[in-house]
Amino acid sequence: MTMLSTPTEAGHMEKKNPRQIDRTGTPVLEAKGLVKTFGHVVGLAGVDLELYAGEVLAVIGDNGAGKSTLIQCLTGALVPDQGELRLDGRPVAFKRPQDAREAGIETVYQSLAVIPALDIATNLFLAREVRRRGPLGTVFRMLDKKGMRRRAETAVRELGVQTIQNMGQAVETLSGGQRQAVAVARAAAFGSRVVVLDEPTAALGVKESGQVLGTIERLRDAGLAVILISHNMPHVWQVADRIHVQRLGRGAGVLDPRMHTMPEGVTVMTGAATIDELAGVRADA
Ligand SMILES: Nc1ncnc2c1ncn2[C@@H]1O[C@H](COP(=O)(O)OP(=O)(O)OP(=O)(O)O)[C@@H](O)[C@H]1O
Ligand SMILES: [Mg+2]
């Protein structure tokens, strides 16, 4: 089932100060001709994508359009069958998420890769635990639990989540929305080039969603590139600089939220019109 938020008149938002993003240089991340099949099912049928520093690129599309497959191919969770990936213009081949992470790409997957039985701080530092200083850390590999909890607390607070009391609390005791907040806090704390968020507000209330959107803007203003996958059109129109529309495993074009309305976005998403047809309608009017 597709959960589309009702498009409103606010869909056509005039941003007072359109942000200037330099797209003349080399994209931070670039994909060309990505193909990924699962047996007979085509996940991606040749998708191109360009992502620049200091921008939020939203990815929208119906269920099964290939959004998650696309970002999994960009971040090492899946290895594409065909296609090229470039980071700062240099060809890369991520074999696992850790490879992308080491290159500065942090991802919150739709399936939320948190480990329920572990506590919040440990989840935040998964695969990058902080060792204690001196021989206790270097020789005995002892973890700096206190330090990790302190940093976890800062990351979660920065996200404005007040309802999480104790960083030593197991993630399985958190609500769905709080878990999502932990996953977003982790990505925001460790992403250095690119942060990718697959439906980060799906389980969140209004206030918490607003905080995640604020975090996205903060990362973008710090010069990172953000990819946001969302079914929530108002959220997309609020924070995106460009909108990649994914349809039936292919890219159906890139919308400009300052030029295109939410209903127009839905029209392209469902295939009722192409972006060129929208432009044609405008020219006729
Ligand atoms: N691991 C997998 N094995 C088999 N088929 C898969 C797998 N992952 C994705 N697919 C298929 O690939 C297509 C694209 O799926 P994908 O998860 O990328 O869609 P999506 O756009 O993220 O959808 P949603 O909005 O529901 O999250 C679907 O037809 C899906 O069934
Ligand atoms: Mg998905």
What's the pLDDT score for residue 91? 97
Closest residue by Cα to atom 16, ligand 1, is 66
Of all ligands present, the nearest one to the C-alpha of 62 is 1
Joined together, the tokens standing for residue 275 give 């972006």
What's the pLDDT score for residue 72? 95
What's the pLDDT score for residue 9? 42
Atom of ligand 1 nearest to the CA of 70: 18
Inter-axis angle of helices 176-190 and 145-158, to 10 degrees? 100
What's the pLDDT score for residue 16? 45
Spatial separation of the C-alpha atoms in residues 53 and 192, rounded to whole Å: 11
How far, CA to CA in Å, does 162 sit from each of 192, 211, 258? 25, 11, 33
Q: Ligand 1 centroid to 186 CA: how many Å?
A: 24
Of all ligands present, the nearest one to the C-alpha of 65 is 1
Spatial separation of the C-alpha atoms in residues 184 and 207, rounded to whole Å: 15
What's the pLDDT score for residue 25? 86
Domain ranges of the chain: 25-226
Spatial separation of the C-alpha atoms in residues 55 and 129, rounded to whole Å: 30
What's the pLDDT score for residue 73? 97
What's the pLDDT score for residue 175? 73
- The 10 Å CB-count burial string (b at 16+, else e) for 154-186 is ebbeebebeebeebeeebeebeebbbbbbbbbb
What's the pLDDT score for residue 183? 80
Q: Can you give the pLDDT of all 285 residues of the chain as single tens digits?
A: 344 443 444 444 444 455 777 888 899 999 999 999 999 999 999 999 999 999 999 999 999 999 999 999 999 999 999 999 999 999 999 999 999 999 999 998 876 666 667 777 776 666 566 666 666 666 666 667 777 777 777 777 766 666 666 777 777 777 777 777 778 888 888 888 999 999 888 877 887 788 889 889 988 998 999 999 999 999 999 999 999 999 999 999 999 999 999 999 999 999 999 999 987 776 666
How far, CA to CA in Å, does 226 sit from each of 96, 100, 170, 172? 20, 14, 29, 28
- pTM to 2 decimals? 0.82
Domain boundaries 25-226, CATH class = alpha beta
What's the pLDDT score for residue 161? 61
